[in-house]
Structure 1
Amino acid sequence: MDKIAVLIPCYNEEKTIAKVIKDTKAALPEAVIYVYNNNSTDRTAELARQQGAIVRDEYMQGKGNVIRRMFREIDAQCYIMVDGDDTYPMEFASEMVDKVLHHNADMVVGDRLSSTYFEENKRPFHNMGNSVVKASINHLFGCEVKDIMTGFRAFSYGFVKTFPVLSKGFEIETEMTIHAVYNHMQIDNVIVEYRDRPEGSVSKLNTYTDGFRVLGTIFRLYRDYKPFGFFSFLAAFLALAAILFFIPVLLEFLETGLVLKFPTLIVCGFVMMAAIQSFFAGLILSNMAMKSRRDFEYRFTRVCEEERRKKFAPQSGISESV
């Protein structure tokens, strides 16, 4: 297995990919650099090969699909994932690698938001979106992750081989963060500088479409990972609605001895039954989620044992051509 693998997902990044590879070689001369070409229509793949990177193709469009392919195919003690748009200075990569290899970090976040992101980024809705996503996840999952949407991260072998990639697009970073937080993995933070894309390089991120996808991912993962909290909130909302609509019916009955709004009474009864069912669904799913956490710990231990075997296994002598 590689000691350090640098993974660069790319879609039409001919303006910047050569510089990213050169900077990576200067910062991490011992690393193996993989460029995953995601149906680029420009010279991205050609330029990456000229710079000595190993180029592979992922034909299913979307960053999540690219990351799924990368994580399946590459074995390394430490992974660095960085975008091919030259917005992250690679001189911070060595510190991130050190935290994985020598300080037991499972994921290292390249934190843009604590440095130059809000000054360099020229898209105000992206600034607001990053802040909203960060606040939402930290509040819902009880964590203090500094940058949720960063594309500059380092991972351990254990994280990569146990991370279930479910997203297809840019919401993958949110999914990574929640997976690490929920499974109590060690998350470290390295403050990195951020620079906006150079002239002629175009962002593939759609502010509104991808923003709503990210929010939908947070909603889905909170429901899946924290079912008791999710369904308890739903139960409380339904119960409150049933009580509010039932009070006028009750007051009318106490005054006249008659129930004149039978449809309202019936609907209140069904809504209260739905609230009770929601509460108990949360209890059941919470127990299932706890079992899933136990299974994950067992699987994570086996993956770590597999890493140790590969790390100390004799080299086969077979290398991949560039």
Structure 2
Amino acid sequence: MDVRLVVFDLDGTLVGAPKPFPELKEELKSRLSEMGIPEETLGDLTPMYENLLRLSRETGRDFGELYSILVELEVERIRDSFLFDGVLDVLNFLRDRGVEMAIMTRSSREATMKALEMHGISEYFSLVSTRDDVSPEELKPKAGQLERIIGAFGVEPTRVLVVGDHGYDILPAREIGALSVMITGHTAGRMSFSVDSTPDFEVQDMKGLLSLLENILNTYVVVPAYNEEKTLGGVLDDLLRYFRREEIVVVNDGSRDRTREIARSKGVHVLTHLVNRGLGGALGTGIAYALRRNARLILTFDADGQHLVSDALRVMKPVAEGLADFAVGSRLKGDTSQMPFVKRFGNFVLDAITAVFAGKYVSDSQSGLRCFSRDCAARIRITCDRYAVSSEIIIEAAKNRCRIVEVPIRAVYTEYSMKKGTNVLEGVKIALNLLFDKLR
């Protein structure tokens, strides 16, 4: 993937502290009570910064006076802070890969810089954005703070990865279209309240984050293409929003139109078969190439425009997180309203036949959107050149004990894509090929 900037939260992500935020909040409340602010006016003080702004408006107290108490308590808390295990491994990995790094935090600048300098990690970050550097209207979970950071680096949101431990870190990333990772196992330093959010990836700790980064930054996309000049350019444009050119492999399977020229014009890697070998031949060539390039993850993505890149990221998720070896994007588990009945019925029959040989039922065995771990891809032996390869891959993955999961996706059917893929005749051929191959 083409990740050029990683934006880290600080508290609960890189740094933890023995004193939890609820305790800090109670200390703040006590100090404010000593100033004569009534309990009923103080309220819960969650979140603290926004409530100090409210108290200043309601009581007429100078905001700077109130705010200085919070900063003092934050700095005191940081004195006992610690770096989570594995942080330096992650930061060094990203620096070695040439990835820029920044901090986005709701803490004060004084407390933030003290933490970074105290733990010797300030040198890793080209930019540090604290709540003192943005207006209240921009502070996360609002998107303005992140937009400022991205603007300073001049990168597109799709090439940015936000890493945090709270929904407040994830929400701005989702709003502007950046990728996000939630660290779920760090409790020291996490805010005392939660908000609903859906990150692109989840990991337990920094060790898990390092593994995830190694996977997603070494992901190859294999795009088999036969006479796809009408759609290939748009498909590649979508993929290039997230993946580097050298990571996208178009296998031109003996096309007689401008497929090869269009792929080359996009700067992606193109492998060409002199004659049409079929889907299986194209996938075999592309996967073998990705393995030779030391890919950690391998995605397969159809060239006819029926897949969404957002779904590809979701299919990547369980494999990138180490929870599966092979993920299949299932159109049957997603929105099937656009899927013609004949395709649903044909898929059902092929799924049943595939399940007999695989010993495992997959609801959309013919899906072209898949993700393999390197180990699983290396164990799969592709012998079917044509459409039977989709079933063969499921059978091989099951036989080699790859952990298989399905991820709901939505297929985009157009008049053009409807002419592609498996029809009734192809379905019969696939079934017969599987029977002959497995019974001989």
Q: TM tier, shorter chain?
A: 0.5 to 0.7
User: 1:189–1:30: structure 2 CA closer, same or farther, 3 Å change rule?
Assistant: farther
Aligned counterpart for 1:134 among listed residues 346, 351, 357: 351
Q: What is aligned with 2:263? A: 48
Give the whole-Å Cα distance in 1 for the aligned partners of 2:317 and 2:422: 34
Closer, same or farther: CA 96–60 of 1 in aligned 2, 3 Å: same
Letter in 1 for 2:253: N
Q: 2:402 aligns with which of 160, 165, 185?
A: 185
Q: Superposition pairs for residues 79-90 of structure 1, below 5 Å?
A: 79-90=298-309
The 3-state SS of whatever aligns with 2:304 is coil
Flag the 1:31–1:153 CA change in 2: closer, same or farther, 3 A: farther
* 8 A contact 1:27–1:94 mirrored in 2: no
Identity of aligned residues (%): 25
TM-aligned CA deviation for residue 26 of structure 1:
2.1
Report if aligned partners of 1:3, 1:31 keep a CA contact under 8 Å in 2. Answer: no
What TM-score does the superposition give when structure 2 sets the normalisation length? Answer: 0.47
1:25 and 1:31 in contact (8 A); partners too: no
Residue 287 (structure 2) aligns with: 71
Aligned to 2:339: 121
What secondary structure, in the 3-state scheme, does the structure 2 residue paired with 1:7 have? Answer: strand
For 1:188-207, list aligned pairs within 5 A.
188-197=405-414, 199-200=415-416, 203-205=419-421, 207=423
Check the 8 A contact 2:353/2:431 in 1, yes or no: no
Q: Deviations over 1:103-133 (max 9, x none)?
A: 242211011112234x3234x4322110112
Task: Give the aligned partner of residue 129 of structure 2.
Answer: none
Cα separation, 1, equivalents of 2:362 and 2:319? 17
Matches within 5 A, 1:210-289: 210-220=426-436, 222-223=438-439
* 1:146, distance to aligned residue in structure 2 (A): 2.2
- Check the 8 A contact 2:226/2:259 in 1, yes or no: yes
1:291 match: none
The structure with the larger Rg is: 2
Do the aligned partners of residues 142 and 65 (structure 1) sit closer, same or farther apart at CA in structure 2, a change above 3 Å counting? closer
Partner residue in 1 for 2:226:
11
Task: Tell me, in whole angstroms, the C-alpha distance in 2 between the residues paired with 1:216 and 1:200.
Answer: 27
Structure (1 or 2) with the greater helix fraction: 1
* Structure 2 CA distance for partners of 1:201 and 1:221, relative to 1, 3 Å: closer
Q: What amino acid does structure 1 have at the position aligned with 2:339? A: N
TM superposition shift of 1:97: 2.3
Per-residue deviation at 1:149?
0.5
The one of 87, 91, 99 aligned to 2:318: 99
Shift of 1:8: 0.2
Amino acid of the structure 2 residue aligned with 1:186: R
Q: Report the Cα distance in structure 1 between the residues aligned to 2:274 and 2:424, rounded to whole angstroms.
A: 25
How far did residue 223 of structure 1 move? 3.4
Distance 1:202 1:12, change over 3 A: farther
The amino acid across from 1:93 in the alignment is A
Give the deviation of 1:59 after TM superposition: 2.5
Distance 1:212 1:66, change over 3 A: same
Partners of 1:7 and 1:185 in 2: how far apart? 20
SS at structure 2 position matched to 1:74? helix
Matched residue of 1:195: which SS?
coil
Aligned to 1:279: none
CA distance in 2, matches of 1:140, 1:80: 24
**Is contact 1:9–1:38 with CA below 8 Å preserved after alignment?**
yes
User: How far 1:173 moved relative to its partner?
Assistant: 0.4
Distance 1:17 1:23 in 2: 10
Using the alignment, how far apart are the partners of 2:232 and 2:377 within structure 1?
24
Higher mean displacement: 209-218 or 172-181: 209-218
In structure 2, do the counterparts of structure 1 residues 140 and 168 end up closer, same or farther at CA, with 3 Å as the change threshold? closer
Contact residue 4 and residue 31 of structure 1 kept, 8 A: no
Match of 1:109 among 311, 324, 328: 328
Deviation by residue 1:145-203 (Cα, 9 ceiling, x = unmatched): 22110011001112222211110101100000011122221012111111113x45573
Of residues 77-86 and 133-142 in structure 1, the stretch that sits farther from structure 2 once superposed is 133-142
Per the alignment, in what secondary structure is the counterpart of residue 72 of structure 1?
helix
Aligned residue among 355, 369, 373 for 1:152: 369
Hey, what does 2:164 align to over in structure 1? none
Give the match's secondary structure for 1:21.
Answer: helix
CA distances 1:3-45 after superposition (whole Å, capped 9, x unpaired)? 0101000011111111111111224458711111111122212
Matched, 1:143 2:360: yes
Residue 385 of structure 2 is matched in structure 1 by 168
**Partner AA of 2:355 in structure 1:** N
CA 1:28–1:146 in 2, change beyond 3 Å: closer, same or farther? farther
1:204: Cα distance to partner? Answer: 4.1
Quick one: distance in 1 between partners of 2:344 and 2:314? 26
Distance 1:103 1:37, change over 3 A: same
